[in-house]
Structure 1
Amino acid sequence: MSGSFIAFLLLGAAAGGFINGLSGTGTALFALGFYLVVLDPVQAVAIVALMSVLAGLQGLWIVRRDILAKPKRLLRFLLPGLAGVPFGLSLLNVIDAGTLRLGIATLLIVYGGYFGFRAALPAFTRRTPVVDCGIGFVGGVLGGAASVSGAIPAMWLSIRPWTKSATRAVLQPFNVAILSTTVCLLFFKGAFDRTAMQALLITIPTGMVAAQVGIAVFRMLSDTAFRRLLIILTLLMGVGIIVSELT
Structure 2
Amino acid sequence: MWSEAALVAGACFVAAFCAGMAGFAFVLVAAGILLHVVPPAITAPVLVLGSLMAQSMALPALWKHIDWPRLRFFLGVAVLGLPVGLLVLAKGPAPMIVAGVGLLLVVYAGYMLSRIALRLAPPAVGGGRAADGVVGFLSGILGGVGGFVGALPAMWADIQGWPKDRARAFMQPFIVAMQAITAVGLAFAGFFTTEALVLTAAATPALVVGTWIGLRAYVRLPAQGFRVVLLVLLLVSGISLLV
Per-residue deviation at 1:142?
1.2
CA distance in 2, matches of 1:146, 1:10: 21
Cα-to-partner distance string for 1:201-238 (whole Å, 9 max, x where unaligned): 21112101210110111111122222222222111101
Cα-to-partner distance string for 1:150-169 (whole Å, 9 max, x where unaligned): 12211111122221111111
Whether 2:22 is the aligned partner of 1:23: answer: yes
CA distance in 1, matches of 2:41, 2:123: 39
Q: Report what 2:110 is aligned to.
A: 113
Contact 1:121 1:228 in 2 (8 A): no
Q: Aligned partner of 2:163: which letter?
A: T
Contact 1:24 1:56 in 2 (8 A): yes
Cα-to-partner distance string for 1:48-107 (whole Å, 9 max, x where unaligned): 11110111111111111101xx31222232221122112221233431211211111111
Which consecutive unaligned segments of at least 5 residues does structure 2 have?
none
Alignment of 1:1-80 (within 5 A): 1-2=1-2, 4-67=3-66, 70-80=67-77
Q: Report what 1:193 is aligned to.
A: 193
Contact 1:8 1:38 in 2 (8 A): no
Contact 1:140 1:149 in 2 (8 A): yes
TM-score by length of 1: 0.90
Which consecutive unaligned segments of at least 5 residues does structure 1 have?
none
Contact 1:159 1:227 in 2 (8 A): no
Which of 92, 95, 116 is the aligned partner of 2:92? 95
Alignment of 1:178-217 (within 5 A): 178-217=178-217
TM-score by length of 2: 0.92
Per-residue deviation at 1:176?
1.0
Structure 1 residue ranges, 4+ long, deviating more than 4 angstroms after superposition: none
Q: Report what 1:232 is aligned to.
A: 232
State the percentage of identical aligned residues.
Answer: 32
Per-residue deviation at 1:190?
1.4
CA distance in 1, matches of 2:95, 2:45: 18
Contact 1:23 1:218 in 2 (8 A): yes
Q: Aligned partner of 1:140: which letter?
A: G
CA distance in 1, matches of 2:102, 2:234: 9
Change in Cα spacing, 1:178 to 1:121, as seen in structure 2 (3 Å) is farther
* Aligned length in residues: 240
CA distance in 1, matches of 2:63, 2:203: 25
Q: Report what 1:83 is aligned to.
A: 80
Deviates more, 1:184-193 or 1:114-123: 114-123
Deviates more, 1:139-148 or 1:121-130: 121-130
Change in Cα spacing, 1:71 to 1:200, as seen in structure 2 (3 Å) is same
Per-residue deviation at 1:127?
4.3
Per-residue deviation at 1:38?
4.4
Secondary structure in structure 1 of the residue aligned to 2:110: helix
Cα-to-partner distance string for 1:158-215 (whole Å, 9 max, x where unaligned): 1222211111111001111111111111111111111111101211121012101101
